[in-house]
A and B are shown apart, each in its own frame.
Chain A
């Protein structure tokens, strides 16, 4: 979905609070029609970055350009702010009806009553909430309130929208319904968006690009698959659900393939490092296969090890299997596979994973 044009370009953005630098972004670009998610733990600076991008928080330094035009003066900041919308974690509705709430941004812009009515009804239809138009905002459920807040933001037809964990306070079915609608509406309206979340699944589902934040900095930025499968460090790895982060010693390096030794096992994967160096690598739990027999003959996977199941932890959609192959591994299995394989704690099995499922984070002496 992302085009080449940088809709919003930021350079050397710094935010200082109480003498402490809380945000440092050397460069940030949001493309036209692109949905970018900012993921990271609480306190990583996601909200601060959103506020700074929306020019709602004074930046200590840095330059911002919107469609190539610098946003520097009060006047350009105000004009810029009128082209964007922002939705916060709390719905922050006004003490008025749903209609008046959705109309508020339009009233602020001085649109005529007729135009406002048309636009509001159109937006309410888009969000499937026409029946709530006359209801007082105070009588809405949490999901309806957040939906109203999103409708209020989209009613002004923003070119760009900043969403600060808008689903975090909602129960799972409400969250799912609202997320599905947001996904549809972002597509239909071609609105560029930046979504802050600490939920990687939410980010994966909605975004074209992911940026991982830690302590006020963006530590990795790229397509979701790349961030999920090739984290740049242990922090990103753990944050994107990479449960197997291991360290081994390189014993062979040949034609772009490395062989690592780890607890009497040999693990092969593509990469480059010097022999004798230690390497940190990771494997996604869903890329690990478990079987009752040695699959050596029938699998193309290079890495096959005998293992013992230490623990099976149900997590709802799948089962989390803790394995001991001399080193610890975590694999995910569906409930169905678990039943088919007759797996139980203490059982001896074989684990396998492809060389390409392994991502090397770094190597060194």
Chain B
């Protein structure tokens, strides 16, 4: 019980004193995860829309693979990204392993199937004749796709939240491709794992609370947008 109380007190102290190291870790967490989420939105929404609208043999298989990808274990992603970015790997020449860029890549790989899967479901959930109605209104194919995405914006926001939630909270991939280097690739989750491993439970607890608050703040913002759009 003491651990909890001490941890909570430490967290408050760290937050109120604006500890430089903690602040830097928090900002890096935000930077990596927000960038990865944005990349996953571009990739996930476009591929998800394409997948939802196109008709081709094997579509169900692809959608099943994407849906499986929504639960991709971060350590597996971490392993593959590490192999790809390893000195002798196919992209070793980029020399980005153990950098924030590598973490962004790994997190984008985790979030993209989540956003893609939710996009497929959201677009397919629209009335089937809506596409024809939009074309009948004189839209080009591109206009039709953009209008469909706009119509699916509320469930898509849930996709944004799920994608962001998936990457801000993951630790396996970040540790593997980032290396938890102090002042460079250390983020809230990797720092928590390390502090807790060293027995500094109060510090680990404080970092966890910051992580939770961060998640809450972002999701609160997105939920506000989503609920404001919803008809009352």
Contacts and interface: CB of A to CB of B under 8 A. Distances in A.
Interface of A: 51, 54, 56, 78, 81-82, 84-86, 88, 90, 92, 94-95, 104-105, 108-109, 136, 138-139, 152, 156, 162
Contact of A81 (B135, B147, B151, B154): B135
Interface in B112-139: 127, 129-130, 132-133, 135-139
A138 B143 contact: no
Nearest to B131: A56
A82 B138 contact: yes
Contacts of A162: 136
Interface string B133-167: 10111111001000100110110000000000000
26 contacts: A51-B132, A54-B136, A56-B136, A78-B140, A81-B135, A81-B136, A82-B138, A85-B136, A88-B129, A88-B132, A88-B133, A90-B127, A90-B129, A92-B133, A94-B147, A94-B150, A94-B151, A95-B151, A95-B153, A95-B154, A104-B147, A108-B137, A109-B138, A136-B231, A139-B231, A162-B136
B33 to A, nearest CB: 29
Contacts of A51: 132
Given A136-B231, A139-B231, A105 B138 contact: yes
A54 B130 CA distance: 15
B132 A56 contact: yes
Nearest to A84: B136
Closest 4 CB pairs of A and B: A86-B136, A105-B137, A82-B138, A138-B231
Contacts of A156: 137-138
Nearest to B126: A92
Given A136-B231, A138-B231, A139-B231, A92 B138 contact: no
Contact of A108 (B127, B132, B138): B138
Contacts of A94: 147, 150-151
Nearest to B133: A92
A210 to B, nearest CB: 24
Given A84-B136, A86-B136, A92 B130 contact: yes
Contact of B133 (A86, A136, A138): A86
Contacts of A138: 231
A105 B144 CA distance: 11
Given A56-B132, A85-B137, A104-B147, 19 more contacts: A54-B136, A56-B135, A81-B136, A81-B138, A85-B136, A86-B136, A88-B132, A90-B129, A92-B130, A92-B133, A94-B147, A94-B151, A95-B153, A95-B229, A105-B137, A136-B231, A139-B231, A152-B137, A156-B138
